[in-house]
Each structure stands twice: as structure tokens, then as C-alpha cells.
Structure 1
Amino acid sequence: MGKVIANMSMSLDGFIADPADGIDQLFGWMGNGEVEVPTAVEWATFRMSEASAAYMRESMAGVGALVAGRHLFDITHGWGGTHPLGVPVVVVTHEPPADRPETFAFAGSVEAAVKLAREAAGDKNVVVASAKIAQQCLDAGLLDAIHVDLVPVLLGTGVRWFENLTTAPVRLEGPAVIEGHGVTHLAYTVHRS
């Protein structure tokens, strides 16, 4: 069985988006290099450094399903019906949209969403891609790892990744470190006591 991994690009001061949910300052590393990394959709082909490309290819190959929150689903317009990873997506919401893309499922809790995503992923990993959902998964003991794409920018304000944990402090083991161009990829394992 794969792991449940929270993954985000984050500013040095701990933000995953600006106050208006903007991410332009945080995802420049996905387009600042010479190595092309295609995805499952035509509109999202990345060009990154060799180190980041190797990291991204390995990460993408290991993903079997994604868990996201309704807010992320809405601001991305459901990724046009297909997430760039090309894997099933489970959206945590109490109000599923009327127009549901075929590759998306909807669940009323993080526990139910992770269960559905694990079933869909088989032996591959489940990636949690929303701040509030990652917090809820960590609080519920569902996360195995946290991967941070740390970007050398200070946003000063915005959306924090783990702002309202109820189980803090949470100990992490690692990190494994990969230095890219304009980003440092950090992989931590969640310590279970």
C-alpha cells in the first residue's frame, strides 16, 4: 500500500498562496528550466531544472490518486475535468457540484476521502493537495509524509499550510533534500508515537 503524502509549494515564511489564492510567486520553478516534463493534460507541461525534473517524474509516477478540498476544486474549475497528474481525484465537500467530472469522486470527510483515494490508488501513493484538508488529515493521523517545495520568496501574508493544527506539536523525520533551481524539495516522514 502506498503512502498518504501532503505536498505543496511554500514560501520561506510558510505561505502556500497569497491572500487572493494567487500562486504565481510559488510555482515559477516549474517553468524556469530546460527539461520538459509533460503531464496528462496539454495545458500543463513543465520546464524545470534537471534535479527538479527527476524529482517531479519520480513523484508523478508514484501517485495513484489525489485528495483535494472543494475550495481548490472550485478555484481550479475542476482542472477542466482532468487533473494534470491524470489520476482519480477525491474532493472533500458536503455539497458536491451538480456537474461532476467522471474522474472525480466526492466525500463528506477526510477519512472517507482518503479511504476512497487509497482504493483508487492501489499500491501507489495518495497525494493531499489542499491546505485545510492536509491539516485535517494530519490531525486525524492519516498523513505518512509531508513534501515541501520550498521557494526562496517571502510573501509576508497569505494562506498558511498548517495554521490551525489541533494535534501540535507534530514531529517529522528527515528531510531528504533535492536542490532545484529556485526551489528546494524537502521530504519528511510523519513521526508516529
Structure 2
Amino acid sequence: MATLLYSATASLDGFIAGPGGDMSWLTEHLTGPDPTVERLLDRVGALLVGARTFGGDDPNRGTDREGAFGGRYHGPVVVLTHRPAAQAPPGVTFAGDLHDAVARARAAAGDGYVNVLGADVARQCIEAGLLDEVLLFFAPVLLGDGVRVLDHPGGTQVRLEPLPGETAHWYRVR
């Protein structure tokens, strides 16, 4: 069964997007190959994406690097939304229920990873006990405001343990 992984690049003060979902800050920090990203990209079988992320800002908009993983991901995408478009773009499926979206993404990913994109979808997956792993990359910038890596006011503590042999910020949800 596919592993459900939330991965994101964050500022050192814990934001994955600036105010209003602005991602332009990230462009200068996407500076070339990263062995962890390469390993992950080889194993991603599907994306599970929130509606705001799917329709939101892209630091590479209008370039050949637009899209997930700098435009290098070309596979199935499941978008969790209560307002699906009348017609889905090729390779995109809309789902209105978290459990249905996860099931569709896991089926599409096979034995690979379902990479969760979007802090709200990651929060929902944690609350439902569905998230298996978390991988964070950090950019040397302080944004001061925006979309937090994970915002779970009043939530309960979630214990993580480092994955043996992986980068310093790749964890298994306990």
C-alpha cells in the first residue's frame, strides 16, 4: 500500500507560503539538484493536493518549471475540494471527501508515495490518523507571516521519529 507523505519547503520561521498564499519567496531558494528530492521524486506515484494549493501561486508560474517538483512531476493528481471544476484537466481527479481522496491517491500510487501538497490537507490527514510520514526542507529566509507548515490550533501532540538513513527532517508519524 502507498505511503502518505506530507512534504514541503518552509521558511526558518515555519511558513510554506507568504501572506495570501504568495510563493514568490521560494524561487530564489530552488537552487539545483537535491539528492533527497531526487530520491523522493523517483518514488512518488501520486499527489494529493488541496484546492488552494492546486489553484494557488506557483513560484515558477509561466516557466517550463511550473508545477510540482519544479515541473518534473508528471503523474496522477487527486485534488481534495468541495467545488470541483466542471471538467478536470488530464491526469487530475477531484474528490470531495478526505477518505475517498486518500483511497484514490493510494490506488494511483501503487506501492509508491502519495505526496500531500497543502497544509490544510496535511492537517486533515493527521486528524484522521492517515498520515504516515513528514518531510520538510528549509529555506534560509524568515517570512514573518503566511501559511504555516501545519496549523492545528487546539490539536493534540503528534509524535514523530526520524526515518533511519534519511535526511535530518524526514520523519515517520508514530
> Shorter-chain TM-score: what band?
0.7 to 0.9
Determine whether 1:106 maps to 2:87.
no
Task: Decide which of 52, 55, 60 is 1:74's aligned counterpart.
Answer: 55
2:78 is matched with 90
* Number of equivalenced pairs: 165
Q: Which amino acid aligns with 1:56?
A: V
**Structure-2 change in CA distance of 1:186 and 1:27 (3 Å):** farther
CA deviations 1:146-178 (Å, max 9, x no partner) are 000112211111111211256420000016664
SS at match of 1:114: helix
* Structure having greater relative contact order (Cα 8 Å, sep ≥ 6): 2
Q: Which amino acid aligns with 2:23?
A: I
1:135 is matched with 123
Does the aligned pair in 2 maintain the 1:132–1:161 contact within 8 Å?
Answer: no
Give the Cα–Cα distance (whole angstroms) in 2 for the partners of residues 86 and 171 of structure 1: 32
Superposed displacement of residue 25, structure 1: 2.5
Give the Cα–Cα distance (whole angstroms) in 1 for the partners of residues 162 and 27 of structure 2: 24
2:39 is matched with 58
Give the Cα–Cα distance (whole angstroms) in 1 for the partners of residues 108 and 18 of structure 2: 32
Give the Cα–Cα distance (whole angstroms) in 2 for the partners of residues 15 and 76 of structure 1: 14
Does the aligned pair in 2 maintain the 1:91–1:105 contact within 8 Å?
Answer: yes
Does the aligned pair in 2 maintain the 1:131–1:161 contact within 8 Å?
Answer: yes
TM-score by length of 1: 0.77
Q: Which one is further off, 15-24 or 123-132?
A: 15-24
Give the Cα–Cα distance (whole angstroms) in 2 for the partners of residues 122 and 154 of structure 1: 37
What percentage of residue pairs aligned between the two structures are identical?
A: 38
TM-score by length of 2: 0.85
1:21 is matched with 21
Structure 2 runs not aligned, ≥5 long = none
SS at match of 1:26: helix
Structure 1 runs not aligned, ≥5 long = 33-46, 179-184
CA deviations 1:40-62 (Å, max 9, x no partner) are xxxxxxx33xxx1x222211010
